[in-house]
């Protein structure tokens, strides 16, 4: 499943870039993120995210690996995790591009997400719907983190 979001912010590209490396602030933006820490800063991170759909609960301990970092324009990372009790895994490739545009900054998010295992039995459509929601919440939270309550620009 591929997802894209675009966030327009008044913050500068450098400020956006800084947020991406601020574990504590970024963790606040990730929906369901229960904990996050740098294993090796700028190289490897660990985080635990939990999500719930009705009676279904999953908790993924994620191993996050930075694949490419070009300050302050591009960040690529991949995250993998497995919820053994639900017998499902999550794999995500994340591609972030930061560009100045008309005095503002645009953050382009591209995520390629695979949910593997028994969760797939719930049906791809429903998983996708939930993932879209999570992406929306993430984008909104990022915008709020960057712009505070001035976050009025729409997410596309």
Partner 1 sequence: MTEDRETTLEVVGRPTARVDGTDKVTGRARFVSDVAVPGMLETRILRSPLPHARIRGIDVSRARAVPGVAAVLTGADLDGLDPYYGVAYKDQPLLAIGRVRYEGEPVAAVAASDAVAAEAALERIEVDYDPLPAVTTLDEALAPGAPLVHERLRPAGHFRDLRALRPVEGTNICHHVRRTRGDGARGLQRAEVVVEDVFTFPAVQHVSLESFVSIARWDGDRLTVWSGTQHPFPVRKELSEIFGVPAHRIRVIAPLIGGAFGQKCYAKYEPLAAALARAAGAPVRVWVSVTDAFRTLTRHPARIHMRTGATRDGRLVARVVRAWLDTGAYADVGPRVAGKVAYLSIGPYRWEHLDVEAFAVYTHRVPAGAFRGYGAPQAEWAGESQLNRLAAELGIDPTELRLRNLLGQGEPYDPTDRPIDGDLPALLRAAARGVGWETPPRPGRGRGVAVGVKDGGGAHSVSASLVRLHADGTATVHVGSVEMGQGPRTVMAQITAETLGLPLEGISVQEPDTDLVPYDQGSSASRSTALAGTAVHRAALDVRRQLLEIARRFFEAPPDVVTLAGGAARAGGRIATYAELIAYHFGTPGGELIGRGEFHSGERDPGAPGPTAFWELGAAAAEVEVDAETGAVRVCAYASATDAGRAINPQLCEAQDQGAAVQGLGHTLFEEVRIEGGQVQNAGLIDYRVPLADDLPPTFTAALHQDGGGPGPFGAKGVGEIGIVMPAPAVAGAVAAATGARVRDLPLTPERVWRALRAADGA
Partner 2 sequence: MLRPFEIHQPESVEAASALVGRYGDDAAFYAGGTELLLVMKEGLVRYRHLVDLKTIPALGALDYDAASGLLRIGGTVTHRALERHPTVRERFPIVAEVERLVANVRVRNVGTIGGNLCFAEPHADPGTLFLTFDAEVELVGTRGARTVPIGAFFTGAYETARQPDEVLTAVRLREGGPQTRWAYMKFGIHERPTLGVAVALTLDAERRGIEDVRIAVGCVGPVPARVPAAEALLRGAPLAEADGPLERAAQVAAEGADAVDDLHGSAEYKVEMVKVFMRRAFRAAAARFQ
Tell me if the bond preceding 72 is cis, omega within 30° of 0. Answer: yes
Helix, strand, or coil here: 81?
A: strand
Q: Does 79 bind partner 1 (CB under 8 A)?
A: no
Q: Which does 48 bind (CB under 5 to 8 A by kind): partner 2, partner 1, none?
A: none
Closest residue by Cα to residue 76 from 124, 43, 54, 122: 43
2 or 24: whose CB is closer to partner 2?
2
Residue with smaller CB distance to partner 1, 87 or 100: 87
Q: How far is the CB of 137 from partner 1 (least distance, A)?
A: 25
Query: 87-126 mask for partner 1 (x: CB under 8 A)?
Result: xxx-x----------------------x-xx--xx-xx--
For partner 1, which is the closer residue by CB, 107 or 115?
A: 115
> Containing H/E element for 17?
helix 13-20
Question: E strands, 54-119, where?
Answer: 56-70, 74-83, 88-101, 104-117
């Amino acid at each position: 499943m591929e997802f894209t979001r675009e966030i327009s912010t008044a913050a500068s590209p450098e400020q956006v870039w800084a947020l991406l490396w601020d574990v504590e602030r970024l963790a606040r933006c990730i929906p369901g993120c229960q904990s996050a820490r740098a294993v090796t800063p700028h190289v490897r991170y660990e985080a635990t995210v939990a999500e719930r759909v009705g009676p279904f609960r999953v908790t993924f301990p994620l191993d996050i690996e930075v694949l490419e970092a070009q300050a302050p324009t591009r960040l690529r990372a991949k995250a993998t995790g497995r919820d053994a009790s639900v017998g499902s895994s999550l794999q995500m490739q994340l591609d972030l591009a930061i560009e100045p545009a008309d005095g503002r900054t645009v953050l382009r998010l591209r995520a390629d997400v695979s949910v593997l295992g028994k969760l797939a039995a719930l049906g791809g459509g429903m998983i996708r719907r939930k993932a879209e929601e999570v992406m929306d919440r993430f984008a909104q939270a990022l915008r709020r983190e960057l712009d505070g309550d001035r976050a009025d620009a729409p997410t596309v």
